[in-house]
Amino acid sequence: MIELKNIKKSFGRNQVLKGINLEVNPGMVQAVLGPNGSGKTTLIKSVLGMVLPDEGVIEVNGQAIRKDGMYRKEIDYLPQIARFPENLKVCELIHMVRDVRGQVSQETPLIRRFGLENFMDVKVSHLSGGTRQKVNILLCFMFDNNILILDEPTAGLDPVALIRLKELIREERSKGKVILLTTHIMDVVEELADEIVFLLEGKIFFKGTLKELNEFTGEHKLELSIARILEKKDKELREVAFPVL
């Protein structure tokens, strides 16, 4: 379980997170959505210990993380943009990550699932964007930890690989894992998310199921609900900037 209590974070005068309270529970996929600049990346980096909040407490499995980096061993993280050593072969990269983490890995089933058998002896510098993302997924899911944080996991994937990834996420959810997901692909959210958290200007604007969000906005699809929220916010900003006299 991940719990955020009154998390605030500013960069200079820019207040990015404005008192976030959130629980991410086992056995569910929680999608964190929001426009650019809403605080999604800062929230994720705070959970990972890459950003230190100015105020508030983050707990992982009931333990505050601020003074104990060992909790990261319980997290499998898939970054939006993975930076791999370009001179390594894929097999060498797998061995390196396994050695760094010091954990048992199960990469063979994932290699088969994503059709990476013929790329094991290929250098990272020679991989296409889609194949790099498959390797990124492999490096995340080859460990069997209880928390998954997936930042734009579908980027660059072909339709078959996307299906395989969605199957994989469902399997991990069925094991009772904590899964935190960010993505701009609304179809993925509609298919996988048990709960949606919509961030707007550093605050939680909405938290609930897809059905509850659509009822809240009066729409029947997620992308229409998101558009309705953003249109309403833009209208409010215009009225403040150019008040009707």
- CATH code for the domain of 122: 3.40.50.300
Q: 244 lies in a domain?
A: no
Q: 60 lies in a domain?
A: yes
| pLDDT at 53 (0 to 100) | 95
**Banded pLDDT at 245 (limits 50, 70, 90):** very low
| pLDDT at 175 (0 to 100) | 96
| Window from 60-69, 153-162, 166-175, 222-231 with minimum mean pLDDT | 60-69
- CA–CA gap between residue 127 and residue 91 (Å, rounded): 13
Q: 130 lies in a domain?
A: yes
Res 236 pLDDT > 80 = no
Averaged pLDDT of the chain: 92
**Banded pLDDT at 145 (limits 50, 70, 90):** very high
Nearest Cα residue to 95 out of 127, 133, 130, 139? 139
| pLDDT at 95 (0 to 100) | 97
Q: 87 lies in a domain?
A: yes
Q: 143 lies in a domain?
A: yes
Q: Give the DSSP per-residue string, 199-238.
A: EETTEEEEEE-HHHHHHHHT-SSHHHHHHHHHHHHHHHHH
Mean pLDDT for the stretch of residues 155-178: 96
Encode pLDDT of 29-62 as tens digits: 999 999 988 999 999 999 999 999 999 999 998 8
- CA–CA gap between residue 124 and residue 94 (Å, rounded): 11
Q: 199 lies in a domain?
A: yes
Encode pLDDT of 89-120 as tens digits: 999 999 999 999 999 999 999 999 999 999 99
Q: 221 lies in a domain?
A: no
Q: Taking the model in full, what pTM does it have?
A: 0.91
Encode pLDDT of 172-188 as tens digits: 999 999 999 999 899 99
- CA–CA gap between residue 4 and residue 43 (Å, rounded): 9
Supply the range of the domain harboring residue 85. 2-208
Domain count, the chain: 1
| pLDDT at 81 (0 to 100) | 83
| pLDDT at 243 (0 to 100) | 47
Q: 13 lies in a domain?
A: yes
Torsion of CA 198, 199, 205, 206, to 10 degrees: 20
